[in-house]
Chains A and B, each alone.
Chain A
Amino acid sequence: MQGGAKEKRFFRSDLGLVATFCLAALVMSWISYALPRFLPGDFVTATYGASQVTLTAQEEAALRADQEPQGGFGHYLWRLARFDWGYSYVFNTPVSVLFLGALPWTLLLMGSAHIISMVIGFVAGVEAAWRRNSAIEKGMVGGMTVLEGIPEICTGVILLFVFALQLQWFPTAGAETAYGEPGFLGHMADVVRHLALPLGTLVLAYFPGNFLLTRNSMVMVIMADYINTARAKGLPPLRIRYVHAARNALLPVVNRFGIRLAFMITGALVVERINSYPGVGTLLYNAIAARDLPVIQMVVLMSSLIILAVFFALEWAYRIIDPRIRHAR
């Protein structure tokens, strides 16, 4: 009997969660629909405004008639439901083609940045906590706190200046040499070389946070009694550090990783811009400059929906991991 009530409550709260996220998704859709329309100027002005070509009033009206979005918000939702993202004003290609063309580059950049900064940050954090109060640890904490405060735009430009312009080790822009056709290995190397600077910028931006978070939670963990027990048993330090202690310090880092993952698309905007990296951020930037409404709408919508989806998944995962959340009232 009691079990049934529990089940029911569980079901109802789950339903509530789903409903909340659906509502949020709807609001996001409306924002993506309405917000870009408030941009001053439109596609015709952005394209022909400063061009070699001048338009008469009729020509301008004819061009504008071509771009008039049909239907209202309802129509927009209906198109979304049918996965019809519309055509880019600028390229007259389906928006989905543009989006899916840019997405892999952003995923490559952001994915590798997150994984590298998490692994390095975690290991460095554990090692630093283990050497608590040593000069190295103090120096690292200080240094990382400073680094955490420097924005990507700053590190990005400095890296570009030093390694691309001065030392000329890495290319200044792009994701690969255009139409290089150097064979598979050469192509991979080319991609890595182009990736190096934007990736370095992002790793420098994300690494300190991971480091500080790991170090802080690790410091709490290593004071626990069971660590002393493990030491007393005479276990090797590396085993204590990683198998006993770090496992428990890992949770907040994974949590942070998840949240960061949600900002996968938008997080790269600044860095993609600095390094002319052809990802979703660049796509959005160009679309805004050209007032390419359908592209702006879809990039904004997709990035917000991805954030929602990740949060939803995290919320769901918490409920399973930690029953206290599920029963909290």
Chain B
Amino acid sequence: MWFFFAKVAPVEEVPVNHTKNRIVIFFRVLILMLSSLFLFSSGVWAKDPAKEIRIADGKGDWGYPNAFQHYPRGPGYLRMAMVFDTLVWKDANGNIPALAKNWRYDPESLRFIFQLQEGVLWHDGKPFTADDVVFTIDYFKKHPYQWVPLGKVAGAERLGLHSVSIQLKEPYAPFMAYVGGTMPILPRHIWEKVDDPKRYQDPNAFIGTGPYRFVDFDSTKGTYLFEANKDYYLGKPVVDRVIYIKAKNPLMALLSHKADLVNIKPDMAAHLKKKGMVILTSPRGWNKKLMINHKKSPLNDKRFRKALAYAINQQEIIDKAHRGFGSPASFGLLSPDHVFYNPDTPQYPHNPEKARKILASLGYQENEKGFMEKNGTPLRLEVLISNITVAGESMADRDGEVLKKQLENVGISVDLVNLEQATADAKVRNWEFDLAVTGHGGLLGDAMTLERMISPRVAGSVNSARYGANRELLELLDAQMTEMNEEKRKAIVYEIQRIYADELPAISLYYPVSMAAYNPEKGIAWYYTKGGIALGIPIAQNKMALIE
């Protein structure tokens, strides 16, 4: 380093104030250079507005966009769905044909028969046929795709070049939502050579029939690039490039035109509207839920859980932790916006007196500190809290604090424990908790979500109550899965909600107001899909919004 200074040595013969001038000049030049860089960068790529659309979220990375590698949450599925199409899809109004032109169910033979679109090409130019559909079913039976359980499907058969039948083992009500509307169809000519699909990362792993071709994913930056598939069979994509980016501050990203579509916090809505952005409000499809360890005393007692329900003031949590942006949840799990929602589901209006009475009837007495105790043992519960929120975002909130106050108000002393997400999840999964605040979506999709969020057969989910103590409930959960008649299925689902709300294996707390905002200058009108995208994803990023 010193020789650097040695080289400048000849200059130092000048008086000191001259050197000072030199330093000043040096910094001026430096500032000039930096600011020119700055100017340069701001206006360089003002692209044609219709050519490119940027969608931002707070996490960015959702895995590679194919069936075997995307993360098992909504945003991961949506990125995959840009490339891969399903047999059926949904737009703003309900089911629309995708790779299948039309379909019918034959109850006699337990078969679904699909007539497929003709002239559809894979991204590599090969034609799409019935063989691809048959292959996809076989392949997913061998290498399961967790989103679409195929246990009830016996197999698929090619009836013609563009006609296929799928054989069920028994009636299976969620078939159209799951196999029809969620399962991506894979190209046989590529995957038939692949034995380990999880490790398969050739560019061919991203050949689909969807409206966009996959170009790039950067896992560390959390960015995706898709380019339009000009030959798309349902219409020409109106935007040439779709880019997903990670943006921690969606408001900023939208206002500085770094992103065109973002999820926003509800209190930003008014400000964004003033700036000319369009605000979308989601139907209630995602709930914050109190998980209860119903295998452990005293929480294994239904009466005790009812006391909890009466102690909880849903509206107060919404008001205090979310400035009023939310609505109280149904105790029957399905969203009031669901077609199968039972309006007569039992309710637990906030009533601390009643909660105290129930606790007293269970043998609890108030001690001098105002807390309940039984035989000298104080009633103490641990509450795990996490920062999970709608649309795959995470956000710290004060749900736990408000809940603690409410439970302490009826004499239950509470330890609030805020753990890192995976640690909390592991505890809930292994039943090492008392109460836990978590959340999940799917409340608008097919009623199969009830089976998934209640049944004890589900082992690995932090969101599922895994409740097996009520036989009738279990039988009804099975029955609604096999009831192909919509009205009869609805009646069963009504009954499930009633029993669930009576048993309270978990307590839904509230539906946060979930909003998205987009820049209308790009000429695309985004929308929330009725019943959620695919099996019920409550995110306003339906790929059909991008099709002419």
* Contact yes or no, A286 B247, CB < 8 A: no
Q: With the chains together, A279 CA to B45 CA distance in Å?
A: 25
Asked, given contacts A46-B422, A242-B5, A250-B2, whether A52 binds B40 with beta carbons under 8 Å apart, the answer is: no
| B residues 409-463 in Cβ contact with A at 8 Å | 420-423, 425-429, 438-442, 452-453, 457-463
Asked, given contacts A164-B252, A239-B9, A250-B1, whether A56 binds B220 with beta carbons under 8 Å apart, the answer is: no
Complex interface bits, B49-82 against A, C-beta within 8 A gives 1, otherwise 0: 0000010000011011000010111100100000
B456 to chain A minimum Cβ distance, whole angstroms, is: 10
Q: Which of A180, A242, A254 contacts B45 (CB 8 A)?
A: A180
Complex interface bits, B214-253 against A, C-beta within 8 A gives 1, otherwise 0: 0010111111010000000000000001010111110011
* Contact yes or no, B422 A238, CB < 8 A: no
Asked, given contacts A41-B425, A46-B422, A243-B5, whether A174 binds B12 with beta carbons under 8 Å apart, the answer is: no
* Contact yes or no, B37 A193, CB < 8 A: yes
Complex interface bits, A206-244 against B, C-beta within 8 A gives 1, otherwise 0: 000000000000000000000000000000111100110
Q: Does A276 contact B (CB under 8 A)?
A: yes
A209 to chain B minimum Cβ distance, whole angstroms, is: 17
CB contacts (< 8 Å) of A264 on chain B: these are none
Chain A, Cβ-Cβ closest to B534: A52
Asked, given contacts A55-B146, A181-B45, whether A278 binds B220 with beta carbons under 8 Å apart, the answer is: yes
CB contacts (< 8 Å) of A290 on chain B: these are 422
B144 to chain A minimum Cβ distance, whole angstroms, is: 7
**Chain B binder among A27-35, A58-66, A140-148:** A58-66
Q: Which of B6, B73, B198, B218 contacts A51 (CB 8 A)?
A: B73
Count of residues in A whose CB is under 8 Å from the partner chain: 75
A127 to chain B minimum Cβ distance, whole angstroms, is: 10
Q: Does B270 contact A (CB under 8 A)?
A: no
* Contact yes or no, A42 B246, CB < 8 A: no
A237 to chain B minimum Cβ distance, whole angstroms, is: 7
| A residues 28-80 in Cβ contact with B at 8 Å | 39-42, 44-57, 59-60, 62, 66
* Contact yes or no, B453 A54, CB < 8 A: yes
| B residues 333-388 in Cβ contact with A at 8 Å | 386, 388
Asked, given contacts A178-B221, A179-B225, whether A49 binds B461 with beta carbons under 8 Å apart, the answer is: yes
Chain A, Cβ-Cβ closest to B52: A179
* Contact yes or no, A246 B5, CB < 8 A: yes
Count of residues in B whose CB is under 8 Å from the partner chain: 82
A198 to chain B minimum Cβ distance, whole angstroms, is: 13
* Contact yes or no, A66 B198, CB < 8 A: yes
* Contact yes or no, B248 A52, CB < 8 A: no
* Contact yes or no, B38 A54, CB < 8 A: no
Q: Which of B60, B241, B252 contacts A165 (CB 8 A)?
A: B252
CB contacts (< 8 Å) of A192 on chain B: these are 34, 37, 41
Q: Does B271 contact A (CB under 8 A)?
A: no
Q: Does B204 contact A (CB under 8 A)?
A: no
* Contact yes or no, A93 B146, CB < 8 A: no
* Contact yes or no, B41 A193, CB < 8 A: yes
Q: With the chains together, A121 CA to B61 CA distance in Å?
A: 38
Q: Does B542 contact A (CB under 8 A)?
A: no
Q: With the chains together, A200 CA to B1 CA distance in Å?
A: 23
* Contact yes or no, A246 B63, CB < 8 A: no
Q: Does B396 contact A (CB under 8 A)?
A: no
* Contact yes or no, A54 B458, CB < 8 A: yes
**Chain B binder among A84-92, A302-310, A318-326:** A84-92
19 A-B residue pairs with Cβ-Cβ distance under 8 Å, sorted by A, are A39-B423, A41-B423, A42-B426, A47-B71, A50-B440, A52-B537, A54-B452, A54-B461, A54-B464, A56-B458, A60-B459, A87-B199, A169-B38, A172-B247, A174-B245, A177-B258, A193-B38, A238-B19, A276-B246
Residues of chain A at the chain B interface (Cβ within 8 Å): 39-42, 44-57, 59-60, 62, 66, 87, 90-93, 98, 101-102, 105, 122, 164-165, 168-169, 171-183, 185-186, 188-190, 192-193, 236-239, 242-243, 246-247, 250, 254, 276, 278-279, 282-283, 286, 289-291
Residues of chain B at the chain A interface (Cβ within 8 Å): 1-2, 5-6, 8-9, 12-13, 16, 19, 34, 37-38, 40-41, 44-45, 54, 60-61, 63-64, 69, 71-74, 77, 144, 146-147, 198-199, 201, 216, 218-223, 225, 241, 243, 245-249, 252-253, 256, 258, 386, 388, 420-423, 425-429, 438-442, 452-453, 457-464, 535-537
